[in-house]
């Protein structure tokens, strides 16, 4: 990587801590990703993206800002990238998946807050994330109580925090709330960018994001093959890069990779031997660089064949209907698309477990590992009924609760190995 110190300094990054972060990240990436066997050639693009994650991509964003484009960061898949693109903005997912700056975060938040929220504070307080520091606007959303209340404390720490309200029920009123919130978000984007959203600009935004999601749907489908043509770790990485790469280049790279994977399937080539135990991971999102659980699973004689998560199918599986002829009609289509997202903050939320069952069937999975972050009430509480429903359908399920630390790695491995034994006997 070139020397980006000047750029990082201009963004207010703490250079010493940031260098330590990059060194740790580089080592973890080598140990976890580059050590895998039989990786597809197409992963080279994603290796490059990761090697330049705080370098070249940030330079592109800084250059975009210099051209007058606005950078909009967000922490949730309910914030529509289509709308940001429609004002020629740059949309960046900011979710943080590392145990960094937690001491500073815990000075502002209760200790029993989920790692995702603590990490969001830790990266900001430690001046560690050039994405956060590049944002003109950061969008928060009233999803879980943790995030909702944390944004109140986060507001004075950032330049411009815009909080979007979200419904909690899949009712007609809920849909109206979502549409009105998207309408207000459009007004905010137009004010920030000085650009008016038109039918053409919105349609273009929808087309770009639809193409990106279509590529991810193609990637998800190819993982039904046995032997698995790609590891769960690599597929997760692509789902993580989804949130911060240039969308058109990303789509092209995923499609090229899928060409290769489809050929692998024809040639019966895979990353694990045919017959390896297959699992779906379902639950909380795994933000980059949270690779702990998949690494343990895939070094315990199992392969992950799908992620039912916002960094996974819950974030990518629906497309937006492009048929509308007015901004209002397209806004309706966007609202319909996002209203499908079955996050555990919704009550009740039956479509989520139905989707997990569909994934098990489609991807020929042997079982499900339910992943909750400690102190995440929506997913932990929902995991009980999800497990019950899956077991009732004869789908073995293992419920795990963990955080970003490595302390429980040994214990998790023991439980996962025991679960895999159960799956083998099925
Ligand atoms: S789990 Fe819920 S709150 Fe978190 S990113 Fe997904 S939709 Fe948003
Ligand atoms: S992991 Fe759970 S508690 Fe944490 S932000 Fe997401 S929904 Fe909220």
Q: Quick one: which of 261, 273, 168 has its CA closest to 222?
A: 261
pLDDT by residue (tens digit) across 287-314? 999 999 999 999 999 999 999 999 999 9
pLDDT at residue 134 in the model: 98
**Which ligand approaches the C-alpha of residue 380 most closely?**
2
Determine the Cα–Cα distance for residues 121 and 140; give it in Å rounded to an integer: 13
pLDDT at residue 426 in the model: 73
Question: How many angstroms does the Cα of residue 325 sit away from the middle of ligand 1?
Answer: 30
The model's confidence at residue 1, banded by pLDDT at 50, 70 and 90, is confident
Q: State percent of the chain over pLDDT 70.
A: 100
Determine the Cα–Cα distance for residues 131 and 160; give it in Å rounded to an integer: 14
Go through 370-379 and write b for each residue having 16 or more CB atoms within 10 A of its CB, e for each that does not: bbbbbbbebb
143 Cβ closer than 6 Å to some ligand 1 atom:
yes
pLDDT at residue 95 in the model: 77
Ligand 2-lining residues (CB < 6 angstroms): 114, 116-117, 144, 146-147, 284, 373, 376, 378-379
In this structure, which residue's CA is closest to atom 4 in ligand 1? 76
Whole-number mean pLDDT of the chain?
A: 97
Burial of 331 (0-12, 13-18, 19+ CB in 10 A): buried
pLDDT at residue 2 in the model: 87
Q: Quick one: which of 80, 159, 81, 75 has its CA closest to 114?
A: 75
* Residue among 141, 151, 285 to mutate when testing ligand 1 (max atoms within 8 A of CB): 285
Question: How many angstroms does the Cα of residue 283 sit away from the middle of ligand 1?
Answer: 10
The model's confidence at residue 425, banded by pLDDT at 50, 70 and 90, is confident
* Residue among 75, 116, 382 to mutate when testing ligand 2 (max atoms within 8 A of CB): 116
SS3 402: strand
373 Cβ closer than 6 Å to some ligand 1 atom:
no
- Nearest-5° angle of CA 137, CA 19, CA 253? 60
The domain in which residue 254 lies consists of 1-425
Strand partners, 281: 307, 369
Sign of CA dihedral 189, 195, 200, 204: negative
pLDDT by residue (tens digit) across 70-119? 999 999 999 999 999 999 999 999 978 999 999 999 999 999 999 999 99
| pLDDT average, residue stretch 336-358 | 98
In this structure, which residue's CA is closest to atom 8 in ligand 1? 76
Predicted confidence (pLDDT) at residue 62 exceeds the cutoff of 80: yes
- Alpha-carbon dihedral of residues 228, 234, 240, 243, nearest 10 degrees? -80
| pLDDT average, residue stretch 365-381 | 98
The model's confidence at residue 282, banded by pLDDT at 50, 70 and 90, is very high
| pLDDT average, residue stretch 51-77 | 97
pTM exceeds 0.85? yes
Q: Which of 94-103, 160-169, 374-383 has the lowest mean pLDDT?
A: 94-103
Tell me how many domains the chain contains.
1
**Which ligand approaches the C-alpha of residue 78 most closely?**
1
| pLDDT average, residue stretch 228-253 | 98
């Amino acid at each position: 990587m070139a020397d980006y110190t000047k750029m990082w300094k201009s963004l207010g990054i703490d250079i010493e801590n940031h260098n330590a972060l990059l060194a740790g990240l580089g080592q973890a990436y080598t140990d976890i990703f580059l050590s895998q066997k039989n990786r597809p050639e197409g992963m080279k693009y994603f290796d490059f993206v990761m090697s330049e994650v705080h370098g070249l991509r940030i330079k592109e964003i800084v250059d975009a800002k210099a051209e007058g484009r606005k950078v909009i960061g967000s922490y949730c898949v309910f914030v529509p990238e289509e709308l940001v693109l429609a004002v020629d903005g740059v949309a960046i997912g900011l979710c943080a998946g590392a145990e960094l700056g937690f001491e500073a975060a815990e000075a502002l938040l209760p200790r029993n807050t989920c790692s995702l929220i603590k990490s969001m504070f830790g990266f900001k307080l430690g001046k560690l994330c050039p994405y956060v520091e590049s944002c003109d606007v950061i969008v928060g959303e009233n999803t879980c109580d943790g995030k909702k209340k944390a944004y109140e404390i986060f507001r004075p720490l950032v330049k411009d925090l815009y909080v979007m309200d979200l419904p909690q029920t899949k009712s007609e009123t809920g849909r109206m709330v979502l549409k009105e919130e998207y309408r207000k978000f459009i007004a905010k984007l137009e004010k920030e960018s000085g650009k008016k959203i038109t039918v053409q600009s919105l349609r273009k935004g929808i087309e770009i994001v639809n193409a990106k999601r279509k590529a991810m749907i193609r990637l998800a489908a190819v993982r039904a093959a046995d032997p698995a043509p790609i590891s769960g770790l690599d597929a997760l990485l692509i789902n993580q890069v989804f949130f911060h790469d240039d969308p058109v280049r990303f789509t092209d790279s995923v499609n090229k990779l899928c060409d290769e994977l489809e050929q692998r399937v024809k040639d019966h080539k895979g990353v694990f031997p045919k017959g390896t135990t297959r699992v779906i991971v379902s639950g909380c999102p795994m933000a980059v660089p949270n690779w702990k659980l998949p690494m343990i699973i895939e070094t315990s004689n199992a392969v992950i064949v799908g992620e039912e998560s916002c960094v996974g199918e819950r974030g990518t599986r629906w497309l937006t209907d492009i048929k509308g002829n007015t901004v209002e009609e397209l806004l309706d289509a966007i609202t319909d698309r996002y209203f499908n997202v079955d996050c555990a903050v919704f009550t009740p939320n039956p479509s989520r477990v139905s989707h997990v069952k569909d994934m098990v069937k489609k991807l020929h999975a042997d079982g499900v590992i339910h992943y909750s972050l400690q102190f995440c009430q929506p997913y932990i509480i929902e995991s009980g009924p999800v497990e019950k429903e899956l077991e009732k359908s004869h789908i073995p399920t293992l419920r795990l609760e963990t955080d970003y630390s490595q302390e429980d790695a040994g214990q998790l491995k023991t439980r996962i190995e025991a679960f895999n034994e159960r799956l083998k006997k099925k």
